[in-house]
C-alpha cells in the first residue's frame, strides 16, 4: 500500500501503499541480542480517544490514545501502529534466520546470505579497512584529466559496481508495448531528497548545513579544510545545476511526459560530449537501436555542464558520490557525520538505527528471494495464501459493481474498464519460482566488496532482460516486506507475505476489521489501475487512452476535486521561523484516489460477505457495530507519529498523504462513514460536498 514506484528505478512504476521512512542505517557497534518486539493488535479499543468527536476528527478519535502512548523511538523518524510494528516484527524474525545462518548454515544458500550478514556486522573489520575498499574507484577518479572522458570513467566505475551518478540506466517494459523490454535512461545525480532542496529559498539553511557536511566528509577523506570547502562548493554547484535540469516529481507522474523513444544516434546528439557507446559497452548490455529517454532536457543540460565545469569539479563530484554511497558502511567517523546530517538534520532522527537492523535490511535487499524462501516456510503457511485468495474475489466483484453504477461514466468506457479489471493478475505471498543467486559473489570479510558485487549482480540481472519476453511472475518486493503494490505495465496487484498478517489480516477476527485492514489495502491497489496515472494504461499494460474524450474530461474534473481538497490539508504547522507545510494534492493524487476507492470497494465487499454469512452490518461487537468497526479498522492502520522534519520532507517527496489525512480525507468523501457514526450533514467528516472518482 506504499504507493511509491517499484520494479525499475527508472520508471515511476506502480502504486505502493506505504513509503517507508528513509532512515540512516546502522550503529557502529555490535548490539546485544535484540529483544522481540511486541505484536500489533488487529483491533485496539485502547487506542480510541473518546474525548474526540469522530464526526469532527475521526483520525484523532481512532488513534489519539495510541499516538499519545507511543512516542517515536529514538532510532526512527516515523512510528506507525501497523507498518512499523509489523515491520519490526518481520525484521526480528528475519534477523533470527540470518544470525543463525551466519553461525551455522545448513545449506549453501544459507551460507551465502549468512556470510553477507556477517560481513555487514563485522564493524571491527570496517574500522581496520578504512577507505581502502574505495581506493580503486578513488584512484580512477583522481586520474581523470579531461571532462570529455567522463563517459570512459563512468563506464569503468559502473563496470566495477561503483556509482556513476549522472543518470539512471536500465531495462524496463515499453510503456506503449508492454510485451517488450527496452533500454531506458533518465535523470539522477542528486544527494538531497528532492530538487526543491536546491532551488527553493526556504531550504537555504539546509543547503548551508549540507555544504558543511560535504566539507567535513572531504576533510575526513584527507583534504585540508580549504581544499574540502572548495570541493564542497563544486559538488553543490553541480548538483544544483542538475536539480534545475530535472523534472519535478509531479511532472514525472505523467507517463506521457516520461516517454520519448530515441534512436541511439539521436540520443547521442543530446550529449555529444558524453560518449554513451563507451558506457553501454562497459556495462555489457546487448545491442539495441532505440531507447526511452525519460527526461531529454536533462541530458541536454548535462552536456552543457560537461563543457562548462572544470575537470577538478567533476572529480570532486564523483569522489563525493563514491564515499556517500557507502557512508553507512565506512568507519565510525564517516558514519557519525553521515548520520548527523542525513539522519538528524534532514529527518529528525535522534539515534542511529541499530546495526543488526541495518544488516538485516541490507541482506534482504541483496538476497531477498534467497532469505525469503526460509522465511515464508516459517511465517506464511499455504493456508494463509488460500485465505487471501478468498478475500480478493469479493473485492474484484465490488470494483466491477462500482464501475457498473458510476453515474459519470458512459457505457463505452465502462465496458473498457470492466475489460481491464478482468485482466488484473493477482500475486500473493511470494514468487512461484525463486531467483538464483549463483552469480552473486559474497565474501565473509569484504562488506564493501559484497555491496559492489551486488550492484553488478542486480544490474546484470536487469540488463539481461533486454529483448526478452516479459516475466509476468517476477516480483518487485521481497517476501517479508510489509507493503503492497500495483504495476500498471503488468496490470497486476502484488501482496508480499510480510503484510498478510495482523494487524492487516487476522483470521480470528470479525470480517469488518479484516476488510477495513487488508481489504482496503487490496481495494487500494486495484484502484491504482484506475487512478490518474493507472487509468492511462489499458488491460494489457499499454499506455493508451481507453476512456472517451468526454469521460476523460469528467474524470479530470473529479480528480481535480481531490487535488484541491488534499492541498488544503496541513501536515506540519508553522514554527521556529518555518512556514506551515501542506500536502501537495497533485503529488499525492494517485494515492488519494486509491485510498478513497479502496475504502468504498472494501465496504461493498464487506456487505456482500456479511450477507453471505447471514450477518448484519449493524451487529455489535464490543459496543461498536460492524459498520463502525470497519471504519475503525481502516483508521487504525494509519495511526502514526513522526518528526516535523520527516513530515516536511514527506510533503515534498512522498506520493502518499500522511496518516491523519489518509483517514480523514477518505472518510469525509464517503457518506457511509457519516451514517455509521450518526454525524450531522455539514460536520467536517460528513460534509455537504465531497469528492468521488470511483
Peptide bond into 204 cis (omega under 30): no
Residues facing residue 243 across a β-bridge:
none
Give the span between the Cα atoms of 478 and 632, in whole angstroms.
29
* Among 633, 605, 629, CA closest to 619: 629
Residue 265: all three cell numbers together: 544516434
SS3 572: strand
SS3 642: strand
* Angle between the N-to-C axes of helices 520-528 and 382-405, in degrees from 0 to 180, rounded to the nearest 10: 60
Q: Would you say 498 and 483 are in contact if contact means Cβ atoms under 8 Å apart?
A: yes
Q: Would you say 183 and 174 are in contact if contact means Cβ atoms under 8 Å apart?
A: no
Give the span between the Cα atoms of 127 and 352, in whole angstroms.
17
Instruction: Give the CA-trace dihedral at 48, 51, 55, 60, to 10 degrees.
Output: -50
Give the span between the Cα atoms of 40 and 638, in whole angstroms.
13
Residues facing residue 168 across a β-bridge:
186
Q: How would you class 625 by CB atoms within 10 Å of its CB: exposed for 0-12, middle for 13-18, buried for 19 or more?
A: middle
For residue 687, what are the CA distances in angstroms to 52, 673, 682, 683? Answer: 18, 11, 4, 6
DSSP H or E run through 511: helix 511-514
Given CA atoms 612, 617, 618, 619 in this order, what sign does their dihedral have?
positive
DSSP H or E run through 235: helix 225-245
* Among 595, 592, 596, CA closest to 583: 592
Q: Would you say 544 and 178 are in contact if contact means Cβ atoms under 8 Å apart?
A: no
Q: How would you class 330 by CB atoms within 10 Å of its CB: exposed for 0-12, middle for 13-18, buried for 19 or more?
A: buried
SS3 624: strand
Report strand pairing: 620-621 vs 624-625.
antiparallel
Instruction: For the beta carbon of residue 179, count every other beta carbon within 10 angstroms.
Output: 11
Number of DSSP helices (H) and strands (E) in the chain, helices first: 28, 13
DSSP H or E run through 321: helix 311-324
Instruction: Give the CA-trace dihedral at 679, 684, 690, 694, to 10 degrees.
Output: -70
E strand map for 90-195: 167-174, 177-187
Give catalytic residue positions.
Answer: 525, 595
Instruction: Give the CA-trace dihedral at 87, 456, 163, 166, to 10 degrees.
Output: -100
Give the span between the Cα atoms of 47 and 51, in whole angstroms.
12
Q: Would you say 174 and 544 are in contact if contact means Cβ atoms under 8 Å apart?
A: no
Matching residue, cell 512516542: 71
Give the span between the Cα atoms of 182 and 294, in whole angstroms.
12
- C-alpha distance across the termini of the chain, in Å: 18
Q: How far is CA 295 from the centre of its chain?
A: 21
Amino acid at each position: 500500500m506504499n504507493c511509491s514506484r517499484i520494479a525499475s528505478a527508472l520508471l515511476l512504476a506502480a502504486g505502493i501503499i506505504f513509503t517507508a521512512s528513509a532512515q540512516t542505517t546502522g550503529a557502529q557497534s555490535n548490539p546485544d541480542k535484540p529483544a522481540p518486539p511486541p505484536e500489533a493488535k488487529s483491533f485496539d479499543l485502547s487506542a480510541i480517544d473518546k474525548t474526540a468527536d469522530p464526526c469532527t476528527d475521526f483520525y484523532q478519535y481512532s488513534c489519539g490514545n495510541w499516538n499519545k502512548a507511543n512516542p517515536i523511538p529514538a532510532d526512527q523518524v516515523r512510528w506507525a501502529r501497523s507498518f512499523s510494528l509489523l515491520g519490526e516484527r518481520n525484521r526480528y524474525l528475519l534477523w533470527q534466520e540470518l544470525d543463525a545462518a551466519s553461525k551455522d548454515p545448513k545449506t549453501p544458500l544459507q551460507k551465502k546470505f549468512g556470510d553477507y550478514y556477517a560481513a555487514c556486522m563485522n564493524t571491527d573489520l570496517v574500522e581496520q579497512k578504512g577507505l581502502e575498499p574505495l581506493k580503486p574507484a578513488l584512484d580512477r577518479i583522481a586520474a581523470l584529466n579531461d571532462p570529455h572522458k567522463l563517459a570512459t570513467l563512468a563506464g569503468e566505475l559502473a563496470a566495477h559496481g561503483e556509482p556513476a551518478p549522472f543518470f539512471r540506466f536500465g531495462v524496463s517494459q515499453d510503456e506503449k508495448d508492454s510485451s517488450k523490454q527496452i533500454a531506458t535512461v533518465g535523470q539522477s545525480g542528486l544527494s538531497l531528497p528532492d530538487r526543491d532542496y536546491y532551488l527553493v529559498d526556504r531550504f537555504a539553511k539546509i543547503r548551508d548545513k549540507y555544504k558543511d557536511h560535504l566539507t567535513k566528509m572531504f576533510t575526513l577523506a584527507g583534504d585540508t579544510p580549504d581544499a574540502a570547502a572548495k570541493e564542497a562548493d563544486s559538488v553543490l554547484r553541480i548538483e544544483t545545476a542538475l536539480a534545475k535540469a530535472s523534472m519535478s516529481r509531479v511532472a514525472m507522474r505523467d507517463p506521457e511526459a516520461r516517454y520519448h523513444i530515441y534512436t541511439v544516434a539521436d540520443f547521442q546528439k543530446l550529449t555529444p560530449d558524453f560518449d554513451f557507446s563507451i558506457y553501454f559497452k562497459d556495462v555489457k548490455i546487448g545491442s539495441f537501436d532505440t531507447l526511452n529517454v525519460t527526461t531529454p532536457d536533462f541530458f541536454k543540460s548535462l552536456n552543457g555542464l560537461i563543457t562548462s565545469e572544470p575537470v577538478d569539479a567533476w572529480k570532486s563530484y564523483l569522489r563525493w558520490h563514491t564515499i556517500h554511497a557507502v557512508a553507512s558502511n565506512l568507519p565510525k567517523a564517516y558514519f557519525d557525520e553521515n548520520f548527523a546530517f542525513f539522519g538528524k538534520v534532514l529527518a529528525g532522527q535522534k539515534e542511529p538505527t541499530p546495526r543488526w537492523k541495518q544488516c538485516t535490511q541490507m541482506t534482504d535487499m541483496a538476497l531477498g528471494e534467497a532469505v525469503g524462501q526460509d522465511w515464508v516456510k516459517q511465517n506464511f503457511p499455504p493456508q494463509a495464501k488460500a485465505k487471501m485468495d478468498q478475500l480478493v474475489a469479493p473485492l474484484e466483484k465490488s470494483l466491477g459493481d462500482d464501475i457498473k453504477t458510476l453515474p459519470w461514466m458512459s457505457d463505452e468506457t465502462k465496458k473498457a474498464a470492466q475489460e481491464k479489471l478482468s485482466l488484473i493478475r493477482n500475486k500473493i505471498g511470494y514468487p512461484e519460482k525463486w531467483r538464483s543467486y549463483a552469480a552473486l559473489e559474497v565474501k565473509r570479510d569484504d562488506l564493501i566488496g559484497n555491496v559492489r558485487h551486488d550492484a553488478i549482480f542486480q544490474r546484470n540481472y536487469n540488463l539481461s532482460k533486454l529483448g526478452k519476453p516479459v516475466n509476468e511472475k517476477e516480483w518487485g518486493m521481497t517476501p517479508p516486506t510489509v507493503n503492497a503494490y500495483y504495476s500498471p505495465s503488468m496490470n497486476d496487484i502484488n501482496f508480499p507475505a510480510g503484510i498478510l498478517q495482523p494487524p492487516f489480516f487476522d483470521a480470528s477476527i470479525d470480517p469488518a476489521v479484516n476488510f477495513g485492514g487488508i481489504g482496503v489495502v487490496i481495494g487500494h491497489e486495484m484502484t491504482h489501475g484506475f487512478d490518474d496515472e493507472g487509468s492511462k494504461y489499458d488491460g494489457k499494460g499499454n499506455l493508451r487512452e481507453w476512456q472517451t474524450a468526454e469521460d476523460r474530461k469528467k474524470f479530470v474534473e473529479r480528480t481535480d476535486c481531490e487535488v484541491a481538497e488534499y492541498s488544503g490539508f496541513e501536515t506540519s504547522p508553522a514554527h521556529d521561523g518555518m512556514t506551515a507545510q501542506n500536502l501537495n494534492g497533485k503529488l499525492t493524487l494517485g494515492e488519494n484516489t486509491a485510498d478513497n476507492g479502496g475504502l468504498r470497494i472494501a465496504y461493498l465487499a464487506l456487505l456482500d460477505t456479511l450477507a453471505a454469512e447471514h450477518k448484519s452490518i449493524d451487529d455489535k461487537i464490543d459496543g461498536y457495530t460492524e459498520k463502525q468497526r470497519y471504519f475503525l479498522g481502516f483508521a487504525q492502520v494509519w495511526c502514526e507519529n513522526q518528526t516535523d522534519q520527516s513530515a516536511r520532507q514527506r510533503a515534498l517527496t512522498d506520493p502518499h498523504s500522511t496518516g491523519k489525512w489518509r483517514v480523514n480525507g477518505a472518510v469525509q468523501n464517503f457518506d457511509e462513514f457519516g451514517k455509521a457514526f450518526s454525524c450531522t450533514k455539514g460536520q467536517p467528516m460528513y460534509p455537504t460536498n465531497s469528492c468521488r472518482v470511483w
